[in-house]
Amino acid sequence: MAESIRKAWTDQAGLRAGQAMVESRQAEAEGYRDLRLPSLTLQAQGIRTSEPMMAFGIKLNQARIGAADFNPLVLNHPDPIGAYGGSAVLQQPLYAGGRITAARRAGDYLALAEAASQERRKQETAQAVVEAYFGTQVAEQALLWVEDSRAWIQGLEDFVGARVEQGLMLESELQRLKAFHAQIEAQKAEVTKQVRSARSGLGLLTGTGPVEGPLATPLEPTDPAAPLPSGARGDLLAADLQAKAAGEGAKAARGNLLPEVGLELGAGTLHHSWSDKGNWTWAAVGVKWKVFSAPDRAKAKAARAQERAARDLRDFRQQQAEHEIRVAREGVLAAQARHAAAKESLAAATEAKRLREARHRAGLAPLIEVLDAEAAVQGARTLLLQSLFELRVSRAGLDLATGHPIEGVKP
């Protein structure tokens, strides 16, 4: 069982896609953290123009302005001039209304939430593996019991056939047995299909294709289900982190309505030739404030609503989890009671069949009573397998509801 669960965690394509989402969120969070860092922009350009203002400005930036350049004729009708150069600009945000800090925190919360959701998806996959694993064992045990019934009915058919040849029993009794035998053959075909489907489903969950070979973990639990306190559920942790991220998102939206302060440092050069050039630098601190922006105010209002929604959803999921724990615990108790009753039922049905078969062989009971007893045994076996499956699945469901590792398997 543990091997199947771990194989599903590593090989299943669905969980690999979930891990890629976690890595995507982590990369986004890293990007949000880098918002506090300065940005450097490099620019290179080449130009040739006869536009009067640009021609004068280019000469000025190249430090080539002379007295002749102020001649009105030259100013109004300059000759085409060429230049090449570049610039480097460093921009550093100093204050952005709290948006940078809020964005960084929101990104961290969302990355942690996605990781918690991935852990929850792993546990849900583990529960599905438990269902498929023990569902396969149920189908295989049913197939063994069908084979047992086939062998039994064949033996009884031989016995009745011999009695018919001796004239001690009616031919109709033998035909009744053959009809019952045909029903068992049909059951075998159906159960064989269930076994193959169950193994294929288990392979789908583990990402390995149809599972071959024996399944080592026994169907019947060897240890009683101990009551455990609630642990940390990934979905609840994710909901709490998403609510915190929504709160930071609301802070960032409010920051759009606050002033921004930034620092800019730059240097530029413009060449007429490699040695004939002009250089300059600048430094500036600026403040920008959207005193009124209807779209930003609407976004801030929407962000506050999203924050309330995330908090309410977190509270609802907590209430839902408490309900799931209560239901899961009741389910385990019911499954245990059903399993105990099924064991008693099978024991009683098996004994009744033995007694009726002995009476029939002694000529004291009709064949129909033996067949009824066999049908009762088959029903009791089905009830026992169903109860064992429900017990295993309900225990896994309780682990999932309380936040404990499914079947005690940890990554």
What angle, 0 to 180 degrees and rounded to 10, lies between the N-to-C axes of helices 171-206 and 367-402?
A: 10
What pLDDT does 216 receive? Answer: 86
C-beta separation of 127 from 331 below 8 A: no
**What three-state secondary structure class fits 83?**
strand
The whole-number average pLDDT for the span 163-179 is 87
Question: Is residue 222's pLDDT more than 90?
Answer: no
Question: Is residue 111's pLDDT more than 90?
Answer: yes
Give the highest mean pLDDT range of 61-70, 276-285, 343-352: 343-352
How many residues belong to the chain?
411
The whole-number average pLDDT for the span 4-18 is 92
What pLDDT does 366 receive? Answer: 87
Longest dimension (CA), the chain: 141
Q: Which of 393, 384, 373 is nearest to 344 (CA)?
A: 384
C-beta separation of 98 from 252 below 8 A: yes
Q: In degrees rounded to 5, what are phi and psi of residue 264? A: -135, 130
pLDDT tier at 74, thresholds 50, 70, 90? confident
pLDDT tier at 66, thresholds 50, 70, 90? confident
The DSSP element (H or E) to which 81 belongs, if any, is: strand 81-95
**What distance in Å separates the CA atoms of residue 44 and residue 270, rounded to the nearest whole number?**
10
Contacts 24+ apart (CB under 8 A), 341-349: 341/387, 342/380, 342/383, 342/384, 342/386, 342/387, 342/388, 343/384, 345/380, 345/383, 345/384, 346/377, 346/380, 346/381, 346/383, 346/384, 348/380, 349/373, 349/376, 349/377, 349/379, 349/380
For 137-154, write each residue's pLDDT tens digit.
999 999 999 999 999 999
Task: Copy the structure tokens of residue 362.
Answer: 């002694």
DSSP assignment of 241-300: HHHHHHHHHHHHHHHTTS-EEEEEEEEEEEESSSSSEEEEEEEEEEEE--S--HHHHHHH
Task: Copy the structure tokens of residue 138.
Answer: 């149920």
For 370-387, write each residue's pLDDT tens digit.
899 999 999 999 999 999
What pLDDT does 67 receive? Answer: 87
What pLDDT does 63 receive? Answer: 84
- Residues 6 or more apart whose CB falls under 8 angstroms from that of 187 comprise 146, 149
What pLDDT does 229 receive? Answer: 64
The whole-number average pLDDT for the span 254-282 is 90
**What three-state secondary structure class fits 171?**
helix
Average pLDDT, the chain: 91
The whole-number average pLDDT for the span 329-355 is 94
pLDDT tier at 228, thresholds 50, 70, 90? low
The whole-number average pLDDT for the span 29-53 is 92
What pLDDT does 227 receive? Answer: 60
Distance (Å) of CA 207 to CA 138, 181, 211:
21, 39, 10
Question: Is residue 135's pLDDT more than 90?
Answer: yes
Question: Is residue 230's pLDDT more than 70?
Answer: no
Cβ count near 98 (within 10 Å): 14
The whole-number average pLDDT for the span 394-411 is 91
The whole-number average pLDDT for the span 6-17 is 92
- Residues 6 or more apart whose CB falls under 8 angstroms from that of 88 comprise 40, 41, 42, 43, 266, 267, 268
Helices (H), strands (E): how many in the chain?
Answer: 9, 4
pLDDT tier at 185, thresholds 50, 70, 90? very high
Partner residues linked to 288 by β-bridges:
260
Question: Is residue 225's pLDDT more than 80?
Answer: no
pLDDT tier at 179, thresholds 50, 70, 90? very high
Task: Copy the structure tokens of residue 22.
Answer: 């976690």
Q: Which of 239, 294, 247 is nearest to 101 (CA)?
A: 247
**What three-state secondary structure class fits 44?**
strand
Task: Copy the structure tokens of residue 281.
Answer: 């630098």
What pLDDT does 345 receive? Answer: 95
What pLDDT does 236 receive? Answer: 95
For 288-330, write each residue's pLDDT tens digit.
998 888 998 999 999 999 999 999 999 999 999 999 999 999 9
